[in-house]
């Protein structure tokens, strides 16, 4: 824990606070429960006693990444050293306004949203810190964009269509004459990958993470949108994932969603972090997923709701894919569309 305590003192000093921590215990504790809720950390202060911070190193907050560990330790240090309480306020984009939030989301990770760290540390030592420009989001799931080109499309219908097909999502798109792509289908004792009734099914029979990949070349220089529909049918346990922009599974960007509404975003090699934990995820109808890159930012939407805005980082390759994780879980995919988009110019 000492490197994070030392970093806390350094960050305080940068912001004009000279702190000394010479009476503190940090120790490990499994299954921390406070106010009937499982917690990753806990500060205990009693008059006349040395403050104690308990950290559950089996928790997702600790295991996600070094950046997530830092936020957990800083949160508890603010309780024990600065005497701060919880702050439930949110920013315009829906992100919490402070590391002192009352729930367990990790606010920034090692990739895509690490740029948010500076504001959150400023706010720790100055609650009146100016709200960040990146929180002033004016994007919505229905923001107007012109589709310039279709980079990939499949609705998992094996029937052929003519190239002069009509509209998709009310946008004029010239679609490949064959919609049924070359998916790696098949089944064995641990996983089943199949197209059934117009949708793709990925089912696991053993604990683990299983994927079905596909390739889409997306130039870094363009704005693009990935739109797909996914569901974990019947309320089964487990998580469903969408991956993009990798050369292999190790360097792909990832969005991971579970049935409880926890949404994590990041990169597989650096760990994904929880961006939202109260999203309504359907198990009886498909959930619409939108990953939109516009300018220097990503905007992530689920069922029309903004999940997070993230800084675009160059893609590592053309590999994309769907994933399912858990003990005997299943995900269905209905439609996947990748387009080159452009925001209409003001008249």
Number of structural domains found in the chain: 2
User: Do 123 and 93 share a structural domain?
Assistant: yes
Could you tell me if 116 and 234 lie in one domain? no
List, for residues 277-306, the tens digit of each pLDDT value. 788 999 989 999 999 999 999 999 999 999
Instruction: State the pLDDT confidence band at 271, using cuts at 50, 70 and 90.
Output: confident
Say if residue 127 is in the same domain as residue 173: no
Residue 216 has pLDDT above 60, yes or no: yes
Residue 237 domain-assigned (yes or no): yes
- Can you give the pTM of this predicted structure? 0.87
**pLDDT at residue 40 greater than cutoff 70:** yes
CATH number, domain containing residue 268: 2.60.120.560
Q: Mean pLDDT across the chain, nearest whole number?
A: 88
Whether residues 151 and 275 fall in one domain: yes
Are residues 274 and 336 both part of a single domain?
yes
Give the count of beta carbons closer than 10 Å to the beta carbon of residue 89.
10
347 part of a folded domain: no
Pairwise CA distance, residues 180 & 195, whole Å: 10
pLDDT average, residue stretch 139-145: 94
- Report the pLDDT averaged over residues 54-75: 90
Please give the pLDDT value at position 29: 87
Range of the domain at 40: 2-135
151 and 290, same domain (yes or no): yes
Model pLDDT, residue 160: 41
Q: Whole-angstrom Cα distance, residue 195 to residue 22? A: 62
Using CA atoms of 246, 249, 282, 198 in order, give the dihedral in degrees to the nearest 10: 80
* pLDDT over threshold 80, residue 312: yes
Q: Which of 55, 105, 108, 116 is nearest to 80 (CA)?
A: 55
Does residue 299 lie in a domain region? yes
Please report whether residue 64 resides in a domain: yes
Residue that is last in its domain, among 95, 110, 135: 135
Q: What mean pLDDT comes out for the span 192-221?
A: 93
Helix (H, G, I), strand (E, B) or coil at 80: helix
Give the pLDDT of residue 23: 92
Same domain assignment for residues 304 and 252:
yes
For 204-213, what is each residue's pLDDT tens digit?
Answer: 999 999 999 9
């Amino acid at each position: 824990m000492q490197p994070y305590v030392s970093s806390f003192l350094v960050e305080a000093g940068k912001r004009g606070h000279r702190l000394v921590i010479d009476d503190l215990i940090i120790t490990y504790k499994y299954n921390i429960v406070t106010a009937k809720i499982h917690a990753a950390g806990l500060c205990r202060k009693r008059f006349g006693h040395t403050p104690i911070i308990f950290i559950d190193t089996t928790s997702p907050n600790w295991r996600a990444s070094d950046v997530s560990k830092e936020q957990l330790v800083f949160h508890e240090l603010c309780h024990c050293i600065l005497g701060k309480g919880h702050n439930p306020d949110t920013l315009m984009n829906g992100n919490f306004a402070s590391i002192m939030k009352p729930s367990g989301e990790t606010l920034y990770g090692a990739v895509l949203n690490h740029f948010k760290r500076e504001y959150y540390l400023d706010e720790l030592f100055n609650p009146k810190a100016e709200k960040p420009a990146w929180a002033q989001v004016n994007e919505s799931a229905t923001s107007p964009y012109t589709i310039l080109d279709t980079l990939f499309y499949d609705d998992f219908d094996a029937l052929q269509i003519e190239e002069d097909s009509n509209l998709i999502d009310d946008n004029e798109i010239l679609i490949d004459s064959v919609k049924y792509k070359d998916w790696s289908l098949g089944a064995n004792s641990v996983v089943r990958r199949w197209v059934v009734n117009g949708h793709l099914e990925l089912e696991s029979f053993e604990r683990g993470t299983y994927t079905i990949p596909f390739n889409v070349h997306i130039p870094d220089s363009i704005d693009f949108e990935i739109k797909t529909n996914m569901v974990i049918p019947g309320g089964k346990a487990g998580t469903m994932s969408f991956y993009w922009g990798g050369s292999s599974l190790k360097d792909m960007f990832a969005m991971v969603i579970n049935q409880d509404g926890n949404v994590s975003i990041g990169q597989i090699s650096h760990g994904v972090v929880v961006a939202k934990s109260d999203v309504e995820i359907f198990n009886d109808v498909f959930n619409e997923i939108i990953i939109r890159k516009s300018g220097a930012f990503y905007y992530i939407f689920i069922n029309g709701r903004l999940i997070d805005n993230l800084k675009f980082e160059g893609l590592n390759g053309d590999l994309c894919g769907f994933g399912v994780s858990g003990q005997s879980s299943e995900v269905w995919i209905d439609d996947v569309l990748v387009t080159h988009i452009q925001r209409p110019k003001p008249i």
